[in-house]
Structure 1
Amino acid sequence: MSKLDLEHMGSMEYDVLREIGNIGAGNATTALSQMVNLKIDMKVPKVELLEFKELSDIVGGAESLVVGILLTLEGDIDGMMMFMMDKCSARHIVNLLMNLDLEELEVEDFSEMDLSALQEIGNIIAGAYLSSLSQLTNMTIMSSVPYLSIDMAGAILSVPAIEFGKVGDKALLIQSQFGEKEKEVNGYFILIPSMNSYEKIMSSLGL
């Protein structure tokens, strides 16, 4: 197979990436619904292949405060994956999970218990994405223990940019919205496989 060129991808390759995003987001929504024991609606996710430097603008700017859950990937593909939420969205999910008043704790900082819940939420959502990718490609994909960080988007995104900037500067961004309008949760799933792994994914799907 010829080397995959991320700068000049065909419509078929983009369709495959979008399908990976759609299935992953659907699995993640189901997992989240089961976790909080509520029906959660999901809008059609927006799937884009972006440069690292564009990612922070999508999540509200480099200085916006976000919750980031970072995992490294091993097995048939390697790379990193990250699930990010703005702080308000993270607060909503924690409150839902712990049956807390959705208005009362709007501005408070996260407690140790909240952070533990966030890590578990991130683990389950990331696991749902990985599981769908694994089933779709018939590849074995394992992840590290998730690392949780609450920081400015630019600082969190600098980690994969430094690590993978040397092998490419593109990341697959899947932007999902869950929940009701007044309590909408914006989630950003970022998949950063190595170039070799991108090629393996496409090859496994017959491209």
Structure 2
Amino acid sequence: MFKEIELDALKEIGNIGAGNAATALSMLLSKRVEMRIPEVKVLPFDEVSRLVGGPENMVTGIFFRIEGELAFNILFIMQPADTLNLLKIMLRQEKTELDLTALEESALKEMGNIIASAFVAALADFTRLSLRVSVPCLAIDMAGAILSVPLSLYGYIGDTAFLLETEFEEGLDDIKVHFFLIPDDDNAFKVLLNTIGVRASDGNNSSGDGRI
């Protein structure tokens, strides 16, 4: 169903966005940060909650709506330990409970906004589509409730999700973020893949390093 070149192109876009996000995070944290997207997986939306520990597992979710020439959703999901470690690094203070202050919520939203904006900018550059990112929404809740946000807000959601597994190689060691790209429906999903496939096969390469 999915061409390898399309998924490879999406992974490349993710790595370009990760590079840009790492630069911005380095400035925010005043320390070197490196991150990458090692793998792209396609999975049924119903399996997403299982992947993050089950529908009743408490997680941190940061949600973005992407609109323009293509409409889809971005959802970051982090486990509690990763959330607390990230806050410790960002705010330089110990944190043991997920009773977030306004400052802590703002810090997490800013981190999510940096990564999402960098990815969408890379995607827009690669596909030449006009895309815009909403302000972030943050919640700490069971995974099932977090995953129902797009459906509750817009009344529909696609049956398939991309997982772009985000790894921090330096600066935010041992913190993992699940980055889900969820098109609105199958048609949006096909448009995204077809657009990426066309750009990938015509020799265009946003990173300028000869790959793809």
TM-score, normalised to structure 2, is 0.80
Query: C-alpha deviations, 1:67-126, integer Å up to 9, x for none?
Result: 1111111111112111221122122222222222xxx32346322211121122221221
| Superposition map of 1:116-131 within 5 A | 116-131=106-121
Residue 36 of structure 1: how far off its partner (Å)? 1.0
Q: What residue number does 1:38 align with?
A: 31
Amino acid in the other structure paired with 2:44: E
The answer to whether the 8 A contact 1:59-1:153 is kept is yes
- Structure 1 portions without partners, runs of 5+: 1-7
| Superposition map of 1:28-67 within 5 A | 28-42=21-35, 44-67=37-60
Superposition CA RMSD, Å? 2.6
Q: 190, 193, 209: which one pairs with 1:199?
A: 190
Alpha carbons of structure 1 residues 116 and 35: separation in structure 2 relative to 1, 3 Å: same
Amino acid in the other structure paired with 1:30: T
Alpha carbons of structure 1 residues 196 and 12: separation in structure 2 relative to 1, 3 Å: same
| Pair 1:111 & 2:101 matched | yes
Alpha carbons of structure 1 residues 204 and 182: separation in structure 2 relative to 1, 3 Å: closer
Amino acid in the other structure paired with 1:186: K
| Superposition map of 1:134-173 within 5 A | 134-160=124-150, 168-173=158-163
Distance 2:42 2:155 in 1: 15
| Pair 1:22 & 2:15 matched | yes
Residue 199 of structure 1: how far off its partner (Å)? 3.4
Q: 110, 123, 129: which one pairs with 1:133?
A: 123
Query: C-alpha deviations, 1:145-185, integer Å up to 9, x for none?
Result: 21111111111012335678956410111111215599511
Query: C-alpha deviations, 1:48-83, integer Å up to 9, x for none?
Result: 011111112222222222111111111111121112
**Identical pairs, percent:** 39
- Structure 2 portions without partners, runs of 5+: 202-212
Distance 1:72 1:152 in 2: 20
TM-score, normalised to structure 1, is 0.82
Alpha carbons of structure 1 residues 17 and 175: separation in structure 2 relative to 1, 3 Å: same
